[in-house]
Amino acid sequence: MTSAPLLYVCVRPQRGAAEAEYASFRRGLRLEEADVAQHDLVRAPLPADVFERYGGFLVGGSPFNLTDPESSKTETQRRVEAELERIAGEAAASRTAALFTCYGIGVATRLLGGVVSRAHPEDTGPVTVELTAEGGRDALFGGLATRFSALTAHKEGAGEVPPGAVLLATNEACPVQAYRVGERLYATQFHPEPTTKAFTERMAVYRDDGYFAAEDYDLIAERVLAASLTEPARLLRAFARAFGPA
């Protein structure tokens, strides 16, 4: 632990979805608002002193896709990816702590020399995640159940961890569900922060963005609301205990 607060880094252009994601992270971490600041990376670059001001970083999801052709990416998306790479590089070098999720895991994977492709998407909704042997021994993941439910919605992923990373969790559809680099950089493909209700509200925002057929919203939402989610929030609390403010 440090005396510095954590920073939630927003990479969602939709303000409502970003605010809801921040609230979900803070609730999952069980930290007060003063202990988890937020920064909208879509609308402003990282402050020059960001690594001095904050003890760790939480990177959320985004409708951006790392695998989009570079020619189709906006200047904003390219800047966002470059600045997230700065955070991932500092955490990989153990100069800060970070948890990258969903879109963020792709950015970290590419920075570290891994391959992100459209070969490992997952449908919107609950999936089963299984810890590896290394995951069972990990400082954060080791306290979780060996198999647990989590929520996913992504169009890209990785089949192998990047060089130097330790695979912590997996499943058949997307083999890289979580990994660690060193002792301070963590990345998950699944979303650790939302409740089932919060996830259905996020689904409504992205109903027409190609993650699922819009007409299937009610059916998928019913399946999400019926899911039992215990371990993802426990992971966030473990991150807060390890790297949050004392």
Q: Does a structural domain hold residue 209? A: yes
- Three-state secondary-structure class, residue 7: strand
- How many domains does one find in the chain? 1
- CATH code where residue 226 lies: 3.40.50.880
For 210: left if phi > 0, alpha if psi spans -120 to 50, otherwise beta; the answer is left
Q: Does a structural domain hold residue 26? A: yes
On the question of pLDDT at 2 being above 90, the answer is no
DSSP notation for 190-225: SBSS--HHHHHHHHHHTTTTTSS-GGGHHHHHHHHH
pLDDT per residue over 166-198, tens digit each?
999 999 999 999 999 999 999 999 999 999 999
On the question of pLDDT at 81 being above 90, the answer is yes
pTM: 0.96
pLDDT per residue over 38-79, tens digit each?
999 999 999 999 999 999 999 999 999 999 999 999 999 999
Name the average pLDDT for the chain: 96
On the question of pLDDT at 246 being above 90, the answer is no
Q: Does a structural domain hold residue 55? A: yes
Q: Does a structural domain hold residue 141? A: yes
On the question of pLDDT at 228 being above 70, the answer is yes
pLDDT per residue over 127-139, tens digit each?
999 999 999 999 9
Q: Does a structural domain hold residue 222? A: yes
Q: Does a structural domain hold residue 1? A: no
Give burial (CB, 10 Å; 0-12/13-18/19+) of 163. Answer: exposed
Domain that holds residue 149: 6-243
pLDDT-based confidence at residue 116 (cuts at 50, 70, 90): very high
At 3, give phi and psi (nearest 5°).
-90, -10
Query: What distance in Å separates the CA atoms of residue 157 and residue 184, rounded to the nearest whole number?
Result: 21
pLDDT-based confidence at residue 3 (cuts at 50, 70, 90): confident
- Tokens in use for 182? 């060193």
